[in-house]
Amino acid sequence: MSVNLQTPIDYLKGVGPNRADLLRKELGIHTYQDLINLFPNRYIDRTQYYKINQLQRNNADVQVIGKITSFKEVAQKRGKRLVGTFQDDTGTMELVWFRGQKWLKDSLILNKTYVAFGKTNWFSGKFNMAHPELELLEDHEKNMRSAMQPVYPSTEKLNNRGITNRVINKIMQQLFLETKGRFTETLSDNLRSELKLISKQSALFNVHFPKNQELLSRAQFRLKFEELFYIQLQLIIKNLIHKSKIKGFPFNQVGTYFNSFFKDHLPFQLTNAQKRVLKEIRADLGSNAQMNRLLQGDVGSGKTIVAFMSMLMALDNDFQACLMAPTEILSVQHYNGLLEWCNKLNISIEILTGSTKTSKRKIIHESLENGELQILIGTHALLEDKVKFKNLGLAIIDEQHRFGVKQRSKLWKKNKLPPHVLVMTATPIPRTLAMSVYGDLDISIIDELPPGRKAIKTVHRFDKNRLNVFKFIRDEIDKGRQIYIVYPLIKENEKMDYKDLMDGYESISRDFPMPKYQTSIVHGKMKPADKDYEMQRFIKGETQIMVATTVIEVGVNVPNASVMIIESAERFGLSQLHQLRGRVGRGAEQSYCILMTSHKLSANSKTRLETMVRTNDGFEIAEVDLRLRGPGDIMGTQQSGVLNLKIADIIKDNYILQLARHHAKSVLKIDPSLALPENQVYLNTYKQLSKFKNIWNYIS
């Protein structure tokens, strides 16, 4: 009979209440199962024993067999150090301790054979080893230990309280003894033989006590695959449940609105990517299930026209459509962009934001409820209880990471059936992350820019080049262009940031004096009305320079602005730099992005700046960003729990992730409810995982 893995860790021999308490607080280990899932960070190869005359000056971990022949205490600036002479049949070296001398002298036996393990240093013509791990050769040979020694995650507190790596190794051995190494298999025989995966039992044993590199690699592959396979299984099941339970309105026809826009009013040829995405959306809208699709496309890739054509499909089937954006500026921009097309097609469209006057609101509410109003654009104002649609068929949400789930679900409740949902984002999400986090949404990607768009030229300049940069700005303004100059705003230090911005504004005003030059300033401390006034002056071309903090990051469209200067660019994240750069390059002229920094740059900052100069591809930038910051940061706090992975790494193990998703899809395609006998193992494991959320708390 195998021990129940949900047994509290307190009951494992050698743990006890005090250690259990520390393991819970420091490493989140509550049960036997949690301990099994504490995987080593790295391994030390203890297959080899070195002779003293074979040691190299490479600061590596080595083990040497020899005897301590003598001790001496050496005075130093603070206290003393203990030095032991250690010798084998080829030479001598020194073992050095800076603390615990009395205990060491009492417990170590001279002229007995020990195995000394640690990092070697070359000092005064001799090798030495500081604070070595020492074990009598006879004990060393008795222990159940693998040649590759695991190094487990730890904390300072655990080490200070005596729960060292060796102790964790010991309790891990105890766990395997108590459970007799019997662990329930979680993958089917078919899948294991197809992918040549070792058993669960063998994988767990060899990840904790590997005999050699090859067995370790096979164990890690098996466990990573399993972890990612069940994440994908959960996400795909969630998607299937969504599609089977949440019915949507079938849009059966593509009619007059769509066809006449396509034939007579399309402002430019659609790219192949836009056509492909429209096809995917059309297939969703024609099915009986509610569409739940994420549309990703870089700044300027033409998402708006795809969104508009999707709205026309709703209108052709006698439904209404709405588009919700995170800011008033962005809503106004969408409205102005769509108004021209709607007028040509004789479609009624309105905008509703916080500043819409009461009298106007009344008219909008009425015409929305009686169905006269076909398209409504707006901010959070669309979520107010007073806003009632006659029959909302399609809701489009722009930059969805700015809206919470609660806010989005308010839109659903405005209807008998939930509307189809299209979520748009210009923040490219790396494919690996999209598969793991948005695996329950269908994803469309627009990955090419419309023809005629010129790539933005990006350069990195140090502060000492500022005079040349100012000359370049003058030349561009003389050509009739406009300039953005953006300063970082980091909350912890608003005073300093505000000072930076005001100093910057003053120096720009000195170098670009009125009346020849007009400069706008926009920052978070201004009243919304003042901010809007300054923005409008710049949009109308009344000012040539806009000095701002990152408030202009999302969505302002000024085709005449051709230069983006980012001050202290090393203080921005990659995705933010990319978003800011996307504010220019919206007209037909060549645009530029200049990244200004001081000379002091960290390695990460250099990588970020080099990436920006090298490429304009948002997806490539997102991949680099993911490598630098890790998944938790990119998803923001509310979703960091999604990727609480025990052994896999979605960046390094991208190939395994794709393989796992492929196999999870194949299983569910044939047997969506996991009812077939050969899939019993998946169903059982899936139920277990859902039951003990504390073990695999992946899905947000």
Q: What is the mean pLDDT of the chain?
A: 86
Model confidence band, residue 666 (pLDDT cutoffs 50, 70, 90): very high
Confidence of residue 197 (pLDDT cuts 50, 70, 90): very high
Three-state secondary structure call for residue 141: helix
pLDDT, position 377:
96
The secondary structure of 194-248 as a DSSP string is HHTPPPHHHHHHHHHS-SSHHHHHHHHHHHHHHHHHHHHHHHHHHHHHHHHHSB-
Q: In which band, very low, low, confident or very high, does the pLDDT at 441 lie, cut at 50, 70 and 90?
A: confident
Q: Which two tokens stand for residue 154?
A: 């730890």
Among 65, 60, 67, 66, residue whose Cα is nearest residue 45: 60
Domains recognised in the chain with CATH numbers: 1-46+145-179 (no CATH), 53-137 (2.40.50.140), 212-245+647-691 (no CATH), 256-286+302-425 (3.40.50.300), 457-615 (3.40.50.300)
Q: How far apart, in whole angstroms, are the C-alpha atoms of residue 67 and residue 71?
A: 12
Residues 641-659, mean pLDDT to the nearest whole number: 77
Q: Check whether 695 has a pLDDT greater than 50.
A: no
The total of other beta-carbon atoms located within 10 Å of residue 603's CB is 8
Cβ neighbours of residue 580 under 8 Å, at least 6 residues apart? Answer: 484, 486, 550, 552, 553, 564, 566, 572, 593
Angle made by CA atoms 56, 57, 58, in degrees to the nearest 5: 90
Before 451, cis peptide (omega within 30)? Answer: no
Q: At what angle do helices 680-691 and 213-245 cross, to 10 degrees?
A: 80
Higher-scoring residue by pLDDT: 330, 30: 30
Q: What pLDDT is attached to residue 528?
A: 77
- For residues 686 and 193, give the distance between their C-alpha atoms in angstroms, rounded to a whole number: 21
Q: Alpha-carbon distance 59 to 62, whole Å? A: 9
More reliable by pLDDT, 84 or 448: 84
> Taking the CA of residue 602 as centre, how many other CA atoms within 13 Å lie in the half-sphere pointing to its CB?
10
Q: Where are the alpha helices (DSSP H) in 540-573?
A: none
Residue (of 499, 540, 502) closest to 518 by Cα position = 540
Q: Strand 420-425 and strand 392-398: pairing?
A: parallel
pLDDT at 553 over 60: no
Residue 669 in this model has a pLDDT that exceeds 50: yes
> Which range, of 191-200, 482-491, 643-652, averages the lowest pLDDT?
643-652
* Secondary structure of residue 454 in the 3-state scheme: coil
pLDDT confidence of residue 497:
59
pLDDT tier for residue 201 given thresholds of 50, 70 and 90: very high
Can you tell me the distance from the alpha carbon of 211 to that of 199, in angstroms, rounded to the nearest whole number? 16
Residues 6+ positions from 73 with CB-CB distance below 8 Å: 80, 81, 82, 83, 101
**Range 4-18 burial, b when 16+ CB lie within 10 A, else e:** ebeeebbebeebeee
State the pLDDT at residue 324.
93
What's the Cα-to-Cα distance from 661 to each of 225, 228, 235, 699, rounded to whole Å?
10, 8, 10, 15
- pLDDT tops 80 at residue 681: yes
Of the candidate ranges 113-122, 382-391, 486-495, 617-626, the one whose mean pLDDT is the lowest: 486-495
Q: Is 669 exposed, middle or buried (0-12, 13-18, 19+ CB in 10 A)?
A: exposed
High-pLDDT (> 90) share of the chain, %:
48
Residue 639: beta bridge partners? none
Which of 56-60, 462-466, 554-558 has the weakest average pLDDT?
554-558
Is the separation of the CB atoms in 252 and 262 below 8 Å? no
Instruction: Calculate mean pLDDT across residues 441-446.
Output: 84
End-to-end C-alpha distance for the chain, whole angstroms? 35
pLDDT of residue 306: 95
Residues 36 and 59: beta-carbon distance below 8 Å: no
Q: Give percent above pLDDT 70 in the chain.
A: 90
Q: In a 3-state reduction of DSSP, which class is residue 395? A: strand
pLDDT of residue 640: 37
Cα angle for residues 188, 192, 195 (degrees, 5° grid): 140
What is the band of 697 on the pLDDT scale with cuts at 50, 70, 90?
very low
Joined together, the tokens standing for residue 42 give 């790295």
Q: Over 90: is that where the pLDDT of 385 sits?
A: no
Of the pLDDT bands very low, low, confident and very high (cuts 50, 70, 90), residue 696 is: very low
- Reported as a single tens digit per residue, the pLDDT across 583-595 is 888 777 899 999 9
Residue 8, preceding bond cis, omega within 30 degrees? no
pLDDT, average across residues 298-313: 89
**Whole-number Å distance between alpha carbons of 433 and 211:** 34
Label residue 489 left, alpha or beta by phi (over 0 means left) and psi (-120 to 50 means alpha).
beta
Dump pLDDT digits (tens) for 408-438: 667 767 777 789 999 888 777 776 677 666 6
pLDDT attached to residue 700: 30
Q: Give the pLDDT of residue 476.
A: 95
Q: 225-237 pLDDT, tens per residue?
A: 999 999 899 888 8
Backbone dihedral region for residue 320 (phi beyond 0: left; psi -120 to 50: alpha; all else: beta): beta
Residue 514 CB neighbour total at 10 angstroms: 8
Instruction: Name the pairing type of β-strands 42-45 and 148-151.
Output: antiparallel
Least confident of 358-372, 558-572, 621-635, 657-671: 621-635
Closest CA to 87 of 127, 58, 47, 57: 127
Query: 3-state SS of 298-345?
Result: CCCCCHHHHHHHHHHHHHHCCCEEEEECCCHHHHHHHHHHHHHHHHHH
Mean pLDDT of 311-321: 96
* Selected residue with higher pLDDT from 62 and 493: 62
In angstroms, how far apart are the furthest CA atoms of the chain?
99
pLDDT digits (tens, 9 = 90+) for 24-42: 999 999 999 999 999 998 8
Per-residue pLDDT at 340 exceeds 50: yes
